[in-house]
A = this chain, B = another copy of it.
């Protein structure tokens, strides 16, 4: 109560008289919060209930399916973190931050430099999101692993963390950010916030705080300091600033948890208070998403992974093309044309025909289908400058004919490959690989991982890193994964 009183009083203390006099509502002592005023009162202790859960939840409490999804989340994240590590975005950030880094505490995936854990978490978080190829919590479009895994793998190089504790912290971090995301999605996202960075900082703070063994009050403060540091706006999509966001969420979460571990205080209700995070950052607040069925319902079990390094709207077509190619051992010169029945969004978002750069390929259904038929894949390599300018693929994409067709859902595609010998190969996709209905198999995750890590870490190490990820629960020291994932 003292904190509540102080908070009110210090609010007033900070206001100049001109503002006080001008603010009639305030002068009357009613301290109006315009957007929040017509809402039902928030349940008390949302932040504290969440903190209590985080500090008490143990690895042994995790259901088997949640553990399994946590392991898959880790493996997928390590792959994308290695895969993005030599992108110009990371090169620039490494150069910019090197003069300020603290001790060489933690590895950069796919690279040789070492940074202090906060900067390393930032850089690995950037790297893992560059291709927009990381994991997705479909209910919120949060990419959960970036902010959380980047933070705790770095911490694991500074203090010993067992694999079980690591996996538990990863799950709790993902759970925290996705539940908080659920509480404010979609309004929060619609207005422009990049929810991976705004909710992600809570995930990082929670997971790091768990490994630092914060007590409940310290965890409340860590979440409060996290609430004070949301990251990212959607306007930045299409620039390096997009992958900045999960990286900065990771380092901000460490910053919050480290301060809280020394008893740097925050308020007790930073998520739910009238002038707290949820009211400031969204016009929707559903606190039951945060506190409901903690330890019973697991958002972390709902994580998904992209099989293709492009917008999900093209995934059904790529999936169909690969299936028909593999089943029929097709080559490009056999193909007369490809007819596609698609939802309007496909042409609206990915209707680009004349393309010259890899990135443009991500917005061309013509290229995506052609390259999938030629190479049997839709990974980052298939959206490179090389692939986009490959003469065989260029020729084939001129023979791809997408037609907007009523009744086709965005999740669906209807593909007919007409061969030069007159045969017609047909495939309908109801749910593409990588969807909730048809998750990527472990084998497919491995193929994706190997493709991303190829040429970056030693070939012999790729298998070993994947094995370490699958085996994380039995590791004495989770940092082993980071140490194995650097370039030669």
Contact = CB atoms under 8 A, between A and B. Distances in A.
B345 A12 contact: yes
Contact of A270 (B95, B236, B279): B236
A3 to B, nearest CB: 6
Interface in A1-44: 3, 5-21, 23, 27, 29, 32-36
Interface stretch (A292-300, A305-313, A457-465): A305-313
B136 A16 contact: yes
In this complex, the interface size class of chain A, counting residues with CB under 8 Å from chain B, is 35 or more
B141 A410 contact: no
A468 interface: no
A362 interface: yes
Number of this chain's copies in the assembly equals 2
Interface string A263-290: 1111101100111110110010000000
Interface stretch (A222-230, A392-400, A418-426): A222-230
A231 B248 CA distance: 13
B280 A18 contact: no
A411 interface: yes
A258 interface: yes
Among A17, A279, A432: residue with most chain B CB under 10 A: A17
Nearest to A348: B29
Interface string A221-261: 10011011111111111111110110010000001001101
Contacts of A403: none
Given A27-B410, A192-B33, A345-B27, A141 B237 contact: no
18 contacts: A9-B311, A12-B311, A13-B362, A14-B132, A16-B136, A18-B411, A20-B345, A100-B258, A101-B102, A101-B116, A193-B280, A225-B241, A228-B245, A229-B248, A233-B275, A233-B280, A235-B274, A241-B266
Interface of A: 3, 5-21, 23, 27, 29, 32-36, 89, 92-93, 95-97, 99-103, 105, 116-118, 132, 136, 138-139, 141, 186-187, 190-194, 197, 221, 224-225, 227-242, 244-245, 248, 255, 258-259, 261-267, 269-270, 273-277, 279-280, 283, 304, 310-313, 315, 344-345, 348-350, 359, 362-363, 409-411, 432, 435-436
Given A12-B345, A17-B411, A18-B138, 16 more contacts: A6-B238, A9-B362, A11-B237, A17-B432, A34-B283, A36-B191, A89-B264, A97-B259, A221-B241, A224-B236, A228-B232, A235-B267, A235-B275, A236-B266, A240-B264, A240-B265
